[in-house]
């Protein structure tokens, strides 16, 4: 097996894997679909394994295809970085990074960070991907992203973990203006229960936090819960970092609902990278900048 003799076919394979379709990939690489299919078949013969499962609509990677796809991602990302380094000479911060982050962190942290960070490193391109922490970890495992900034980072032998801070949930209400409830003891609770206990019912949630029966409004994102709290529709049960900016601007305030003010459901905020990248100058500098900015903000 001599893959170095089939680099062009690796590019074709990579595009098919990205597009999940022979037809779409053929349009992207500007060859006919039969020619693309033939190239993929030849590559499978060289490797000795099928790389795709052919479906009625599109294709799906086999286990061997997943393995090759991860290597292709590293290969083509490295080539892209090399092109930028050649363009920008000796700048060690020239290149590109993909960073995956939990949705709420993407809202409360990244705008402030990027506003300070990007002007310092004009030759560095950053692509930000957001989603659930589990999704970001999966993308990191597949090599789609370089750094994951997530909630409760947990690794294995493949990853290096950098924990930065601990956050916890507290109760908040609108600070000024009309609210639909007359007293906090009767106010509905608004939260994203799935963020700390996906299988928990509303009743179990109230029992868990030691409060009497009351309405619970579940949301699909912490940002939605925060927005409803800000409108005075109930007591928001939010992480401190999510509520931080609105508390600082006195738009919402912390409320003590008999369960103390130390917070509940403590969790870590931190970064994950693949061990193979831990010695990279660029990725280490970016991680140091993220950690410093996070501590400065919070």
Are 176 and 253 contained in the same domain? Answer: yes
User: What is the DSSP secondary-structure string of the chain?
Assistant: --GGGGHHHHHHHHHHHHHT-HHHHHHHHTS-HHHHHHHHHHHHHHHTS--EEE-SSSEEE-HHHHHHHHHHHHHHHHHHHHHHHHHSTT-TT-EEEEEEEEHHHHHHTHHHHHHHHHHH-TTEEEEEEEE-HHHHHHHHHTTS-SEEEEES----TTEEEEEEEEEEEEEEEESSS--S-S-GGGPPEEE-GGGT-TT--HHHHHHHHT--S--EEE-SSHHHHHHHHHTTSSEEEEEHHHHHHHHHTTSEEEE--SS-SS-EEEEEEEEEEEGGGTT-HHHHHHHHHHHHHHHHH-
Domain assignment present for residue 84? The answer is no
Domain assignment present for residue 107? The answer is yes
Domain of residue 14 covers 3-69
| Cβ within 8 Å of residue 117, ≥6 positions away | 289, 293
Q: Domain of 256: which CATH number?
A: 3.40.190.10
- The pLDDT, as a whole number, for residue 104 is 94
Are 159 and 275 contained in the same domain? Answer: yes
Query: Measured between alpha carbons, how far is 58 from 171 in angstroms, rounded to an integer?
Result: 47
Are 188 and 256 contained in the same domain? Answer: yes
- The mean pLDDT of 207-225, rounded to a whole number, is 87
- The pLDDT, as a whole number, for residue 148 is 96
- The pLDDT, as a whole number, for residue 89 is 67
- The pLDDT, as a whole number, for residue 286 is 94
- The pLDDT, as a whole number, for residue 242 is 96
Query: Measured between alpha carbons, how far is 226 from 173 in angstroms, rounded to an integer?
Result: 9
Paired strand residues for 150: 270
Are 151 and 287 contained in the same domain? Answer: yes
High-pLDDT (> 90) share of the chain, %: 54
Domain assignment present for residue 132? The answer is yes
Domain assignment present for residue 117? The answer is yes
Asked if 29 and 39 count as a contact pair (C-beta separation under 8 A), the reply is no
User: Which of 160-164, 168-172, 263-267, 291-295 shows the lowest per-residue confidence on average (mean pLDDT)?
Assistant: 263-267
Q: Domain of 24: which CATH number?
A: 1.10.10.10
Are 142 and 200 contained in the same domain? Answer: no
- Give tens-digit pLDDT for 13-33: 988 998 889 999 999 889 999
Domain count, the chain: 3
**pLDDT at residue 178 above 80?**
yes
Query: Measured between alpha carbons, how far is 282 from 280 in angstroms, rounded to an integer?
Result: 6
Strand-pair category, 216-218 with 189-191: parallel
- The pLDDT, as a whole number, for residue 70 is 81
Buried b / exposed e over 21-56, threshold 16 CB at 10 Å, is: bbeebbeebeeeeeebbebbeebbeebeebbbeeee
pLDDT band (50, 70, 90) for residue 180: very high
Q: Kindly tell me the burial class for residue 87, based on how many C-beta atoms sit within 10 Å of its own C-beta (0-12, 13-18, 19 or more).
A: exposed
**pLDDT at residue 260 above 60?**
no
């Amino acid at each position: 097996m001599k893959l170095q003799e089939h680099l062009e076919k690796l590019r074709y394979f990579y595009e098919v894997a990205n597009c999940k379709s022979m037809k779409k990939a053929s349009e992207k690489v500007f060859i006919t679909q039969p020619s693309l299919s033939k190239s993929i078949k030849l590559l499978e013969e060289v490797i000795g394994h099928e790389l795709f499962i052919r479906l009625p609509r599109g294709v799906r990677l086999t286990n061997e295809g997943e393995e090759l796809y991860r290597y292709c991602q590293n290969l083509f990302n490295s080539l892209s970085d090399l092109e930028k380094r050649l363009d920008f000479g000796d700048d060690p911060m020239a290149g590109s990074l993909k960073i995956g982050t939990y949705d709420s962190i993407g809202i409360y942290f990244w705008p402030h960070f990027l506003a300070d960070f990007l002007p310092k490193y004009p030759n560095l391109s950053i692509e930000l991907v957001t989603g659930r922490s589990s999704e970001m970890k999966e993308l990191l495992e597949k090599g789609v992203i370089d750094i994951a900034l997530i909630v409760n980072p947990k690794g294995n032998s493949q990853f290096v973990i950098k924990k930065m801070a601990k956050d916890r949930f507290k109760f908040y209400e609108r600070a000024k203006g009309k609210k639909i409830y007359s007293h906090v003891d009767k106010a509905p609770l608004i939260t994203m229960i799935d963020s700390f206990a996906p299988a928990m019912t509303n009743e179990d949630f109230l029992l868990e936090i030691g409060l009497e029966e009351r309405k619970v409004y579940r949301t699909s994102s912490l940002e939605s819960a925060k927005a409803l709290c800000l409108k005075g529709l109930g007591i928001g049960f939010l992480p401190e970092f999510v509520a931080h900016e609105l508390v600082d601007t006195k738009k919402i305030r912390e409320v003590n609902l008999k369960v103390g003010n130390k917070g509940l459901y403590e969790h870590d905020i931190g970064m994950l990278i693949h061990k193979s990248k831990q010695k990279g100058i660029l990725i280490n500098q970016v991680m140091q900048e993220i950690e410093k900015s996070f501590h400065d903000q919070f």
